[in-house]
Structure 1
Amino acid sequence: MMVGSVSGIGANWGNQASHPLPPAIVVNMLRANGIQKVKLFDAESATLTALRGSGIEVMVGIPNEMLYSLANSVDAAERWVAKNVSAHVSSSSVNIKYVAVGNEPFLPTYNGSFLGTTFPALQNIQAALIKAGLGNQVKVTVPLNADVYQSSTSLPSTGDFRPDIHDLMLEIVKFLNDNGAAFTVNIYPFISLYNDPNFPADYAFFDGYSSPINDNGRIYENVFDANHDTLVWALQKYGYGNMSIIVGEIGWPTDGDRNANVQFAQRFNQGFMSHVGKGTPMRPVPVDAYMFSLIDEDAKSIQPGNFERHWGIFFYDGTPKYNLSLGSNSGGLVPASNVLYLPRRWCILSPAANVDDAQVGPSVSYACAHADCTELGYGTSCGNLNAQGNISFAFNSYYQQNNQLQSACQFPNLSVITTSDPSVGSCRFNIIIQTTSANGPAGSAGFSHTPTNLRQSLAWHWESTGFVFNLDLMGTIEVKLCSLKLHILRVTKAQGFDP
């Protein structure tokens, strides 16, 4: 498969948010910014429906959790393709070009959980696409972390696949090549800097490095080029030197770590946009790439680090974080339009409260465990808040994530609702956006009536349905059959009620 040119930059559109922007608004935002390609992590119907007729090229994703069933059942693969690809391509005019089978399934942190299922799932999905008559139109791929290959020296030319998955990688590469598919890799210079305090910071960016690497006459002034070409050399070593490469994820976060800030993100992403058309020393052609990511996701796991929720070039509400030209929008990013917010009110520490109150610690811990406090900490956007500011930020995060429900701002003798914006400098105290769900507007959390307090809402649902609603996260109400007494004790204690 010969290397070809690409047009435009793509973006990763994730949905791990407590209050995601409505898909139609996101699609309009993509078009307004000239983003011609989008990579999804699932095949959610509402998202694909919003993309119909847009002309935007789509890569739909299959989560790792589905690999086992797809690997062990051709019928399951055929049903998945029929529902998530064929139906949208034929009847909804969605421009699906790729199916991403899994997402970085060979990360060492998975302890080999997907080593035996990724390739069979890939084969079954490919067979299902062919059976559906889509084999030439829709291509399969596996988005892989750049750790699937490595170099024995600092030179890209010594690149090879990771020893523990070497043979498996060659099987996958051959299969992709035989089916005219591309190798998809996620490359993160930020992670290099995050993991190694001695990593030369300038080498992570695209505006010059004082000690470039000379690899037999090929000069590497940034780690992206060196990383990318390490893969090129690994492919070339086994006869796949012309195989197409897609950079599935590349970007820089803006919060949650001392190196994750708006200034570095703008420097990196604008540098990449200027660099993407030039290619790399081994591949001096435009790079096919998807920025990571489009919008912040406040429900992502923070196990890799607090920065995980802040990769977006837009905030949670579609507001641009910084000036960025994507090529077609030289005037900068265009914000989302027609975004609806909940009322302008915030939950903060009461002026009458004492920061040394014994209830402060447990209350803040509870709020942050059930909301998002990743903007707090050393080197973050809210790192300069005083004690009152930190407590207020935690309270407000929980209050907003629970759709400004009055009972979500009833920390025991500590909290109060205000209409004065408590934001300080770069530290934003957010107001959550209105979203819709199967249960109705998020602002009402889908209740058929508004409970006067948490105790009443729990009791009402138990008496009328026989189930208890988990109110820890009002944005995603979970129905659980459990002990009413224990549930009330657990939740009301945390909320400051007397059981």
Structure 2
Amino acid sequence: MLKHGFLVVLAFMGYWIDHNICVEGFGVNWGTMATHMLEPKILVQMLRDNGIKKVKLFDADKSTMDALAGTDIEVMVAIPNDQLLTMTDIDRAKDWVRRNVTRYSFKNGVNIKYVAVGNEPFLTSYNNSFVNLTFPALQNIQNALNEAGVGDSIKATVPLNADVYFSPESNPVPSAGRFRTDIAELMTQIVQFMSKNQAPFTVNIYPFLSLYANEHFPMDFAFFDGTPNPVLDNGVEYTNVFDANFDTLYSALKAVGHGHMAILVGEVGWPTDGDKNANLNNAYRFYKGLFAKLASNRGTPLRPGYIEVYLFGLIDEDAKSIAPGNFERHWGIFRYDGQPKFPMDISGQGQDKHLVAAKNVQYLPNRWCMLNPNAKDLSKLANNIDYACTFSDCTSLGYGSSCNNLDAIGNASYAFNMYYQVQNQLDLSCDFEGLAMVTNKNLSQGTCNFIIQTGKYSFSNKVLPGIVVLLSGFTFLLL
């Protein structure tokens, strides 16, 4: 997919071809659960510089939408789960569409393609909190879009976790896929409604989580470059879990009479820190295989052809909940500051290149917070580290992570610095009862990066729940 029109100046042709071709159907998730977010206009420019033409949001924030206006970027806006109850009122749904969709429907407005109604609302961990709300909300939003005259071009969909379907233990193959028993009737109704309105089924597929959740899961099966032990299903060979998962959904849709329905992969990716298998090498391997697959348009065994996917995610988010695991804050293909993490072949043609970094990023001064080497009373050190990690992000210190090899002094300094940066380098934030001091020396070592935070401070109440961690989880670092 070419980002710009034909360039007649031959001198620029090579650069243009190398930097502005990307796999068709490739988009990214743009999350905002971070203490310091880059300005939307910076991120939009970064998307455009990399030829990324699709973006999936988790809300419809006005500053983000304003930054996207006038671009050719295709947008999925979203209604968070905590607004689903409100959307069961048709008048409120119409008002939401007016304020967040049709207000941008003008020349040089925002190219909205989808409205995501909730996000994985049927997760079993939600204890059925949204089971009775999601379908009415979906109906109201799509009907509101239709009434507003934009329903032909803008579709409502529900991004769902892959746990809404399964294959029975007696026949654990993709062709036996069915919707989860407790929501089977509801899923059938949702599928019928979306099919009637020509909306896609949106599913989030995470091969990494298959590996993370099961120590016996064959690692090669999480990637796309082959496995010595493929899964056989009626003569069909599956060499990776992505295809197997996707085709299990296809079979579930086929079982309820909608095997023709378009399937959109709303989230897929690989984290780069926070777990022994979450690292740059594995992420590089995963994305290299994914983009080669997408570029080939070969699809899956049961659904050949084009697949539309949204990578998860655009940048790291240091305030996400780590209830699923420490890796949750490290899904970005870019670092928190818009720097690319590893080469990525978004052309799918073997062109390993670093993505274009964010431009005009402002940083705080080159100052770090460290454990004071002259500190005498270390009896309060553990409590102060716990405090620092409670209100910042220490997930890189965990087992198998990028800062796992620091000694006790390094662990303390890392924790203190993360808190210091979150607090915008305020003088009082590098004290810790006299245990800390400010230094101009970069404390980074090996794979462990002691960050300097960006100058844009955006800490807000919406990220507070995600930033609190279990205090005891970091006490071991001193042992």
Question: Shared topology, TM-score over 0.5?
Answer: yes
Q: What SS is found at the alignment partner of 1:11?
A: strand
Q: Which runs of 4+ in 1 moved over 6 A?
A: none
- For 2:307, which of 259, 263, 287 is the aligned residue? 287
**2:244 is the alignment partner of 1:226:** yes
In structure 2, how many angstroms separate the alpha carbons of the residues matched to 1:332 and 1:375?
A: 23
In structure 1, how many angstroms separate the alpha carbons of the residues matched to 2:292 and 2:38?
A: 29
Q: Which residue of 2 aligns with 1:118?
A: 134
In structure 2, how many angstroms separate the alpha carbons of the residues matched to 1:107 and 1:8?
A: 26
- For 2:460, which of 476, 480, 485 is the aligned residue? 476
Structure 2 counterpart of 1:12, one-letter code? N
Q: Which residue of 2 aligns with 1:348?
A: 370
In structure 1, how many angstroms separate the alpha carbons of the residues matched to 2:62 and 2:28?
A: 19
Q: Which residue of 1 aligns with 2:468?
A: none
User: Is the CA contact (8 Å cut-off) linking 2:364 and 2:424 kept in structure 1?
Assistant: yes
User: Is the CA contact (8 Å cut-off) linking 1:37 and 1:58 kept in structure 2?
Assistant: yes
User: Is the CA contact (8 Å cut-off) linking 2:224 and 2:239 kept in structure 1?
Assistant: yes
**2:326 is the alignment partner of 1:306:** yes
In structure 1, how many angstroms separate the alpha carbons of the residues matched to 2:287 and 2:164?
A: 24
**2:443 is the alignment partner of 1:422:** yes
Q: Which residue of 2 aligns with 1:89?
A: 105
Identity of aligned residues (%): 55
Structure 1 counterpart of 2:305, one-letter code? V
Task: Mark the structure with the bigger radius of gyration.
Answer: 1
User: Is the CA contact (8 Å cut-off) linking 2:288 and 2:348 kept in structure 1?
Assistant: no
Q: What SS is found at the alignment partner of 2:437?
A: strand
In structure 2, how many angstroms separate the alpha carbons of the residues matched to 1:415 and 1:91?
A: 55
**2:120 is the alignment partner of 1:104:** yes
- For 2:452, which of 408, 424, 431 is the aligned residue? 431
Q: What SS is found at the alignment partner of 1:475?
A: coil
Q: What SS is found at the alignment partner of 1:375?
A: helix
**Structure 2, unaligned stretches of length 5 or more?**
1-22, 463-479
Q: What SS is found at the alignment partner of 1:192?
A: helix
Give the C-alpha shift of residue 477 in structure 1: 7.5
User: Is the CA contact (8 Å cut-off) linking 1:212 and 1:220 kept in structure 2?
Assistant: yes
Give the C-alpha shift of residue 94 in structure 1: 0.4
User: Is the CA contact (8 Å cut-off) linking 1:382 and 1:426 kept in structure 2?
Assistant: yes
Report the more deviating stretch, 85-94 or 124-133.
85-94
User: Is the CA contact (8 Å cut-off) linking 1:86 and 1:132 kept in structure 2?
Assistant: yes
- For 1:395, which of 409, 416, 424 is the aligned residue? 416
Give the C-alpha shift of residue 90 in structure 1: 2.5
User: TM-score, normalization: structure 2?
Assistant: 0.89
- For 2:388, which of 348, 360, 367 is the aligned residue? 367
Q: Which residue of 1 aligns with 2:75?
A: 58
**2:228 is the alignment partner of 1:210:** yes
Give the C-alpha shift of residue 328 in structure 1: 7.9
In structure 1, how many angstroms separate the alpha carbons of the residues matched to 2:229 and 2:158?
A: 34
User: TM-score, normalization: structure 1?
Assistant: 0.85
Q: Where do 1:20-419 residues align within 5 Å?
A: 20-71=37-88, 73-90=89-106, 93-152=109-168, 153-276=171-294, 277-327=297-347, 330=351, 331-354=353-376, 357-419=378-440
User: Is the CA contact (8 Å cut-off) linking 1:300 and 1:308 kept in structure 2?
Assistant: yes
In the TM superposition, what whole-angstrom CA distance separates every residue of 1:64-98 from its partner, at most 9, and x where no partner exists? 00000111x11110110000001112265100000
In the TM superposition, what whole-angstrom CA distance separates every residue of 1:439-470 from its partner, at most 9, and x where no partner exists? xxx3xxxxxxxxxxxxxxxxxxxxxxxxxxxx
Aligned-residue Cα RMSD (Å) equals 1.4
In the TM superposition, what whole-angstrom CA distance separates every residue of 1:106-141 from its partner, at most 9, and x where no partner exists? 000000000010000001101111111111010000
Structure 2 counterpart of 1:143, one-letter code? P
Q: What SS is found at the alignment partner of 1:228?
A: helix
In structure 1, how many angstroms separate the alpha carbons of the residues matched to 2:26 and 2:363?
A: 30
Give the C-alpha shift of residue 475 in structure 1: 3.1
Q: What SS is found at the alignment partner of 1:399?
A: helix
